[in-house]
A and B are shown apart, each in its own frame.
Chain A
Amino acid sequence: MNLNETQKNIVEEFSVFDDWLDKYNFLIELGNELPEIDPVYKTNEYLINGCQSKVWLHANLADGKLVFSADSDAIIVKGIVALLVKVLNDRTPDEIVENELFFIDEIGLSQNLSPTRSNGLLAMVKKMRLYAIAYQAQSQKQ
């Protein structure tokens, strides 16, 4: 499944919920399924700024694809970052840089996207794209 197909899938999965709290329950489940982050990345260095809750995010490149790991001390926020990981994990840097993340808007999370909103969804997306851009630049050098 390419990145956009995964996005479409998620939009479909969310479309069954007409209650926000059901969406949150689904996010909480996603967060629970997120593999544990290596404790060496659970430090201030990997903390995303601008969140009321703490979000740690790390990415490395394996076989030309990004592997993200993440965690949060808030459960729903962890679900949100797990959702991003689900979409962006195991993608090439080019794929991440070139594709728009339309699913955020379509499942109704975009209200959490404004720069002043303190759950830091925007900051998470930015950080993940920055990782992709950095690895893209690195591979172009080689």
Chain B
Amino acid sequence: MAFDINKVRSDFPILNQQVYNKPLVYLDNGATTQKPATVIDTVKELQSLHNASIHRGIHYLSEQMTTRYEEARERVRLFLNAASSKEIIFTSGATGSINTLAFSFGEKYVHKGDEILISEMEHHSNIVPWQMLCERKEAHLKVIPFDGSGTLKLDELDELLSEKTRIVALAHASNSLATINPVKEVIRRAHEKGIPVMLDGAQMVQHGGVDVQDLDCDFYVFSSHKIFGPTGSGVLYGKESLLEELPPYQGGGDMVDQVTFQKTSYNTLPFKFEAGTANYIGAIGLASALEYVMKLGLDEIRSHEAMLTQYTLDRLEKIPGLVLYGRASERISVFSFLVENIHPYDAAMILDKMGIAVRTGTHCTQPVMDHFGIEGTIRASLVFYNTTEEVDQLVSGIERCIQMLS
């Protein structure tokens, strides 16, 4: 199927609007993505006609919703190419997934003096939960550094993977540097030493999918709202054999088998990790979004974005005084930059009034900003529904900023 950008854009109702009398140019997809009509309709239909709490309800609506929730799990399994739907746990988002893993894994395997290995380019959500674990257990957080281009220094990896390392938690793609990390290589080297690896896919899955079996990662997390689904939903994937061994994170309804005041036995996978009434509408909305991108074609998404990325790099490089942060050879369509001595906040205010949505600040990656000795950047983050014309508008906007501010 040929990639028809106009058809694709018409699938997203929000894109067809004016802000401040200018056509909306939405380049803040790293923060959240827009929803296709099919996702919006699914959520509306569920709320209007099908709402009922899932599991154990012996009535028509509950059984219907339970079926659709479990079908959603199967859709996620298919999207990730996981071996079993038992390996798919619905959470509140990537942050929720990492907190779940950091707690459960930490309770079982992390002890005083142990080490957790992350990288210098992690989102705060993949730093703080591990840091909290380290504080609880008197363990140590170790960090894989990156170089000036935003590429991980893998020559330091073998030394960092010590006999005390219990887990590696690494961004699949960086939200502020755009780097796609060489995760297969990291996983291979970690596995040689018997160390499991969790990948944070929050900034990767929307750019053409992943195959967890091919990667051979042990855990993988992502958020629904960054892949065209509703907010408040997300996924924790884990290899079944590993998840089986982990204790639950939160206690409550649905995650139990038998409860007495003396002892509670836990439900089987994946329910052991889904305490409380699940966000079933979020999960089914996510499945609808995944169905949409799979229909559109993951290869088509990748190739359209590769074209957009090259085009954007070519155009940005011609702007005098523009400094791009993150120049790794493997990258997603995210661009973090500063222009001369222009404050990102000034630039964003001007771009906003030109109808262009970008993000400014540290992008929840303060250590990345510290690495470069800057306080923040302007970030334009694109997905498959963005166009070269929108990139042109961004460039005109930046030129206008230069004219007004310097």
> B343 at the A/B interface (Cβ < 8 Å)?
yes
| B56 to A: closest C-beta gap in Å | 40
- B346, A77: Cβ atoms closer than 8 Å: yes
A-side contacts of B343, CB under 8 Å: 53, 73-75, 77
| Known contacts A20-B353, A52-B376, A119-B345, A75 near B360 by CB under 8 Å | no
Nearest B-chain residue to A77, judged by Cβ: B345
Per-residue contact bits, chain A 59-76, to B (CB 8 Å; 1 contact, 0 not): 000000000000001111
B-side contacts of A77, CB under 8 Å: 343, 345-346
- B353, A24: Cβ atoms closer than 8 Å: yes
B-side contacts of A21, CB under 8 Å: 350, 353-354, 400, 404
Chain A interface main SS type = helix
> A25 at the A/B interface (Cβ < 8 Å)?
yes
> A122 at the A/B interface (Cβ < 8 Å)?
no
- Interface residue ranges of B1-53 to A (CB < 8 Å): 20
Q: How many residues of B contact A (CB 8 A)?
A: 15
- A24, B345: Cβ atoms closer than 8 Å: no
- B376, A75: Cβ atoms closer than 8 Å: no
> B154 at the A/B interface (Cβ < 8 Å)?
no
B-side contacts of A118, CB under 8 Å: 345, 361
Given A20-B353, A119-B349; 13 other pairs, CB 8 A cutoff:
A20-B20, A21-B350, A24-B349, A25-B404, A52-B361, A52-B376, A53-B343, A73-B343, A74-B346, A75-B405, A76-B346, A77-B345, A118-B345
A to B CB contacts below 8 Å, 18 in the list: A21-B354, A21-B400, A24-B353, A28-B404, A28-B405, A52-B344, A52-B360, A53-B343, A53-B346, A74-B346, A75-B343, A75-B405, A76-B345, A76-B349, A77-B345, A77-B346, A118-B361, A119-B345
Which A residues lie at the B interface, using CB under 8 A?
20-21, 24-25, 28, 52-53, 73-77, 118-119
The 7 closest A-B pairs by CB, nearest first: A20-B353, A74-B343, A53-B345, A74-B345, A52-B345, A74-B346, A76-B346
